[in-house]
Chain A
Amino acid sequence: MNKIPFDVRRYLYKQYNEKVIFSYILIDKIDSTLEWSDNVQMLYDLELTQDLPADEQLLFLQGIYPYQETQPFVLSEVVFSSNRAADIHIVPSKYKLCILLFDVTENMLFHQELQQQKNELKLLYEQQKRSMLALKDSYQEIQRQKKFAEHANQAKSEFLRHVTHDLKSPLTGILGFAQLLEFIKEPLPAEANDYIGEIKKSGNYLLSLINDLLDIAKIENSGMQINPELLTISSLIEESISILKPVANKNSIAFINRSNHNLPAIWIDPIRFRQILINFLSNAIKYNRNNGNIIINSYLTHTHSVRINIKDSGCGIHPENLHKIFQEFERGTAQDKEIEGSGIGLSVCKKLTELMSGSVGVYSELGIGSLFWLEIPVAEEQIVAIKPSNALQNILYISDNKVHIYLMNCLLEQRLGSSFLHAQDRQSVLDMINTHRISAILLDMDIFSLNALDIFKELKENEKAKICR
């Protein structure tokens, strides 16, 4: 490095930082001898020798660099046969011509890579642009299809409305005349009475179907008018039960009404609400077994909604069909074909409930029965008056599994706010019952140390004995 004249070194430090590898070739201006750094040959494959005149060895400079120049001259990114690149600075000094080679191979490769990435990015951008245009086209197509579907749906609803209306008029005539036939004074043959009964039955079924279709058409056309009133529901439940009691009696199905009569008022359209209840109850009769029962509960939920549960003891709904039970024309049970129904009723119920800001749902177990529920939020002005709901006090959990006990404790105390007791053997069960007022018992049927059914029987005996005392 010391061989390089000071003014050239100063130039060098101004141009590049120290990290750049540099090599040098110095040409003595007086005797044309050459000096070079060791790495010149290694890096650039330059065959330098003192035996040849410097001018011949540096042919590549001829025509590019006029020797008489007094200012530094730079050749950028010259690539050598070794595939290494250098910025060549030709810096004239007083006695020497300094050729400085700054290795920029890494820099060049980096730039090449950058350029490649830039090209790839450009390509990607073009592809994205094309995708965006395709997406835009698809979106426009979807919008067009959506509009078309909406028009078609509106047209369908309009068609339904007209057709059902037109069907209803002659049906009124059929049903009316069938009723008149029953009032004829002359006694009709027994067969004729059966025929009239069948006409009325089929006519009424058709009428309910038409009414459901009309409702669907009205709801879909936003033409359904709901006239909400602030009402309590207990009388509506009783009315609906009494309407359907004769049908239930025919199949020896019992109604068990466990509704709470002190529920707060809710905003409902009484006609539509009764329609929903009757629909749920009719289904509970239709899909029930002979000598079955229908349990109706109504209560206030933790979320300040009035909830009605209608639980039947029928065949239940297959889990695969459960999620689509409230869709139009979907029916849930395997025996559907034997039971009359179009699959519209529940869809109407759901839509009507939603119009009253409520929700509906179902739980079901195959072979055990189904529980349909309906929830309507309590009117805001009523919420203030609601006392905090009484959670069940002292629920006794009988189990000998520590993990289950812990889980149940978390569920009952922390989530439901009920107090929790547990027992794991016969004696502790009896002690708990005799020393606490228990509201309900959860009995683990897989208890290892005891027979669960024996415990149940003992509990019942104990209860009877208490009542007798």
Chain B
Amino acid sequence: MPVIGLFNTETDLAEIKAALNIGFYDYLYRPLNFYLAMELFDRLAVIY
């Protein structure tokens, strides 16, 4: 079950990288960029 982290735009990149390294599927920034979110869900819909 893919877990996507929702981060604030100010979040340190190292924190995001650490999350990806421990198994987060991907990440999105909040406020959401609709196109990026759509792209991510489209991608997930194909895989899962």
A-side residues, CB < 8 A to B, are: 258, 260, 297-299, 301-302, 307, 309, 363, 365-368, 371, 373, 389-392, 395, 399, 404, 407-408, 411-412, 415-416, 418, 438-446, 452-453, 456, 459-460, 463
**Known interface pairs A368-B13, A456-B22. Does A445 touch B47 (Cβ–Cβ under 8 Å)?**
no
Interface string of B2-38 (1 = CB under 8 A from A): 1111111001010011010011110010101010111
Report whether B37 and A441 are in contact in the complex, using a CB–CB cutoff of 8 Å: no
Could you say which of A297, A389, A390, A399 has the most chain B C-beta atoms within 10 Å of its C-beta?
A297
Is there an interface contact between A299 and B19, defined as CB atoms closer than 8 Å? Answer: no
Specify the chain A residue showing the minimal Cβ separation from B46.
A299
> For residue A366, which residues in chain B have a CB less than 8 angstroms away from its CB?
13
Q: Which chain A residue shows the least CB distance to B28? A: A442
Check A416–B2 contact: CB distance below 8 A.
no
Hey, which chain A residues are within 8 Å of B38, CB to CB? Answer: 302, 415-416
Q: A260-B46, A363-B36, A456-B22 are in contact. Are A391 and B3 (CB under 8 A)?
A: no
Interface size on B, residues (CB 8 A): 33
| Residues of chain B having any CB pair with chain A under 8 Å | 1-8, 11, 13, 16-17, 19, 22-25, 28, 30, 32, 34, 36-39, 41-48
Whether B48 and A368, one on each chain, are in contact in the complex, defined by CB atoms closer than 8 angstroms, is: no
Tell me, in angstroms, the Cα distance from A260 to B43 when the chains sit together: 10
A-B contacts, 19 listed (Cβ < 8 Å): A258-B46, A258-B47, A298-B46, A299-B42, A299-B46, A366-B13, A395-B41, A399-B6, A404-B30, A407-B32, A416-B37, A416-B41, A440-B48, A441-B1, A442-B4, A445-B19, A446-B6, A446-B8, A456-B22
Chain A residue contacts of B34, Cβ below 8 A: 411, 415
By secondary structure, the A interface counts as: mixed
- Contacts A440-B1, A443-B5, A445-B5 hold; do A391 and B22 have CB atoms under 8 A apart? no
Give bound CA distance, A440 to B45, whole Å. Answer: 9
4 further contact pairs, Cβ within 8 A, besides A391-B41, A446-B6, A463-B1: A297-B46, A363-B36, A399-B6, A446-B8
